[in-house]
């Protein structure tokens, strides 16, 4: 009997638990549809803000020995353009049964609400609130995700402005991620996305004595951060009852299962697209299915959170 890979995230059905993480390929409707056809259970758009942002100069995204480092600087064409792109993407995704998650970012607590209201016009299935980008620290002093009170205020403001279920995306760069998770769930978040990239970090070009990223510092992602992501997901799943979209260095079915065992409802894949291509979604699902058959699991509920008892 075929195993059931479907999962429900904040009331939205995903045909499988793999999700295209925000910031990867989520700009063009045709490319998002291609990712869905490659087996993703949901796709997340690149974070969009009220006004267009060109982001930082290149180099913005680089591969290094154990992952990626990036400081794109939240480049995006602005909410007005993204609403059209999301509408077009939804039309392409609907026949595939793949939902769309719209990621938003804003410069102030108030503006998060405005951006959420505008993006809701495109009727995304879920809204992901990016309060944890590590590359705009110099501009805004600190991430919204660094303080439980500020993170909760952003969440409230977004919830006041939309009927669509809201995921709040948290950062690993805090002393106690569970405390932030509790604050945003109490403020009304329907679910948590965790984690955003780690750091920021620095890689130098020693010949010119300069950082390789034009921005100097950048968020670290990929295989090197996965153990930290898994630990953060454990902390969050123990602290709150809300569903978790787990992200951080996931590159295979084995890694997806690891996140599900830790209690995740769905699992994001981002940097691994650089190593395995968009085929990574289909391949990871095949690997998850093989694992479930080997262990006699019929659906994801049977294995979800099963590792928490050992931690």
Contact residues for another protein (CB under 8 A)?
A: 24-28, 30-31, 33-34, 46, 52-55, 57-64, 68, 72, 75-78, 81, 203, 205, 207-208, 210, 212, 214, 270-271, 273-274, 277
To another protein, the closest distance from the beta carbon of 121 in angstroms equals 18
Based on CB atoms, which residue is closest to another protein, 148 or 211? 211
Q: Catalytic: 133?
A: yes
Residue written as token pair 């454990």: 234
Q: How far is CA 4 from the centre of its chain?
A: 23
SS3 readout for 59-101: CCEEEECCEEEECCCCCECCHHHHHHHHHHHHHHHHHHCCCEE
Q: Among residues 60 and 120, whose Cβ is nearest to another protein? A: 60
- Please report, for residues 26, 30, 135, 229, the alpha-carbon distance to residue 75 in angstroms, rounded to integers and kept in the order given: 12, 19, 11, 25
Q: Are 148 and 182 in contact (CB under 8 A)?
A: yes
CA distance 283 to 278: 9
State the nearest-atom distance from the C-beta of 206 to another protein, in Å: 9
Question: Least separation, in Å, of the C-beta of 177 and another protein?
Answer: 25
Q: For tokens 């902390």, what's the residue?
A: 235
CB of 72 to another protein, least distance (A): 7
User: Minimum distance from CB of 290 to another protein (Å)?
Assistant: 26
Alpha helices in the chain, H assignment, sequence order: 29-37, 79-93, 109-120, 137-140, 148-160, 177-186, 226-239, 253-261, 272-276, 280-295
Say how far apart CA 244 and CA 265 lie, in whole Å: 5
> Of 33 and 307, which has the nearer Cβ to another protein?
33
Q: Which of 29, 48, 133, 285 is catalytic?
A: 133
CB closer to another protein out of 82 and 192: 82
Residue 250 beta carbon to another protein: minimum distance, rounded to whole angstroms:
14
Nearest residue (CB) to another protein, 139 versus 175: 139
Q: What is the dihedral of CA 233, 234, 238, 242, to 10 degrees?
A: 20
- C-alpha span between 127 and 165 (Å, rounded): 6
- Containing 4, the helix (H) or strand (E) segment is none
Q: Which residue number, 12 or 25, has a Cβ lying nearer to another protein?
A: 25
Where in the sequence numbering do the catalytic residues fall? 133
């Amino acid at each position: 009997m075929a195993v059931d890979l479907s999962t429900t995230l904040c009331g939205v059905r995903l045909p499988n638990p793999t999700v295209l993480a925000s910031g990867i390929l989520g700009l063009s409707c045709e490319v998002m549809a291609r990712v869905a056809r490659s087996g993703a259970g949901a796709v997340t758009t690149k974070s969009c803000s009220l006004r267009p942002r060109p982001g930082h100069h290149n180099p913005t995204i680089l591969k290094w020995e154990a992952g990626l480092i990036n400081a794109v600087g939240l480049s995006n064409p602005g909410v007005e353009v993204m609403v059209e792109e999301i509408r077009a993407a939804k039309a392409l995704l609907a026949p595939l049964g793949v939902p769309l998650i719209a990621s938003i970012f804003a410069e102030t607590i108030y503006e998060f609400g405005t951006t959420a209201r505008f993006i809701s016009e495109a009727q995304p299935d879920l809204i992901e609130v990016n309060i944890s980008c590590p590359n705009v620290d110099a501009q805004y002093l600190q991430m919204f995700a660094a303080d439980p009170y500020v993170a909760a205020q952003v969440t409230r403001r977004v919830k006041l402005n939309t009927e669509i279920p809201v995921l709040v995306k948290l950062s690993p760069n805090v002393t106690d991620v569970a405390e932030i998770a509790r604050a945003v769930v109490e403020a009304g978040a329907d679910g948590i996305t965790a984690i955003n990239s780690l750091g920021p970090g620095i890689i130098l070009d020693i010949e010119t004595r300069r950082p390789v990223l034009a921005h100097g510092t950048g968020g670290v992602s990929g295989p090197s951060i996965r153990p930290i992501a898994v630990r953060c997901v454990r902390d969050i799943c123990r602290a709150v009852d809300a569903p978790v979209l787990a992200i951080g260095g996931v590159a295979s079915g084995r890694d997806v299962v690891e996140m599900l065992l830790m209690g995740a409802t769905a699992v994001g894949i981002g940097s691994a697209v650089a190593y395995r291509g968009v085929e990574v979604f289909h391949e990871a699902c095949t690997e998850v299915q093989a694992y479930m058959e080997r262990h006699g699991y019929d659906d994801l509920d049977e294995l979800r959170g099963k590792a928490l008892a050992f931690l």
